[in-house]
Amino acid sequence: MDTSIQVQRVADKQADGMAKADAKSVRKQLRNSTGEKIPTSATVGMNNDTKNIAILYDQSHEWYGSVLNFYPSGISPGNSAQFVNTVDPTNGSKAAVVYTGKINETTDCAWLLAWCAPIGTELDPPNYQVYVEVGKQENYENIDWAAIEAKLSNSTNYSSSQDTETGCVASADIFTGSNNTALIAAHFNI
């Protein structure tokens, strides 16, 4: 067997072992001082339900936690994309992301998705919240993130929005998945 292939296999096994050790370490860290479980991440799945409009990443805001790697740069019509937002061990995951798309020659739409997956326990489960809104892209050039946070705080585990001017619609819900992960499912359409 070629020596370079053997070296690569050993390196792969070491990397796999390190990844498993890192994951185990992260799971241990993601317990609060009394040993109660906290969310390990917020996994976000976004669906572009339009027939012919590509939507592109515009901007994001993190109150707690951070995106793992990157936000998807765009989602083609009829497809979906996902990303993971890691949690802050004290506060959980709380963030927002905006995607935009050209509806017609004169109108661009913005779809905003915000979520909150705070720390909770089995005795005191977290109050997951999600918020969506849509509208003309120009209305999202200078977002008042404090206002979005207030709207998110008044939301529940399901949100929907429709803009009559652009025809854009969005909906999202948030729930607990396996391994104590917050799952967010969003749909963007016109």
User: What is the rounded CA–CA span in Å between residue 188 and residue 111?
Assistant: 7
Reference 53, options 82, 76, 81, 80; nearest CA is: 76
Q: Is the predicted pLDDT of residue 72 greater than 50, yes or no?
A: yes
- Residues 11, 79, single domain; the answer is no
Number of domains the chain contains = 2
Q: Which amino acid, residue 49? A: D
What tens digit of pLDDT does each residue of 41-53 get? Answer: 889 999 999 999 9
- Residues 78, 141, single domain; the answer is yes
Q: Is the predicted pLDDT of residue 18 greater than 50, yes or no?
A: no
- Residues 2, 96, single domain; the answer is no
Contacts with 52 (C-beta within 8 Å, 6 or more apart), sequence order: 77
- Residues 40, 87, single domain; the answer is yes
At 125 the pLDDT is 76
Stronger pLDDT, 190 or 30, i.e. the higher one = 190
- Residues 74, 130, single domain; the answer is yes
**Highest-scoring range by mean pLDDT, 18-27, 157-166, 179-188:** 157-166
**Is residue 172 classed as helix, strand or coil in its secondary structure?**
strand
Per-residue tokens: 170: 């969005």
**Is residue 5 classed as helix, strand or coil in its secondary structure?**
helix
Query: What residue numbers bound the domain in which 69 lies?
Result: 32-189
| Least confident range of 2-6, 136-140, 143-147 | 2-6
- Residues 22, 105, single domain; the answer is no
Q: What is the dihedral of CA 119, 121, 127, 129, to 10 degrees?
A: 50
Q: Is the predicted pLDDT of residue 33 greater than 70, yes or no?
A: no
At 23 the pLDDT is 38
Mean pLDDT rounded to a whole number for the chain: 82
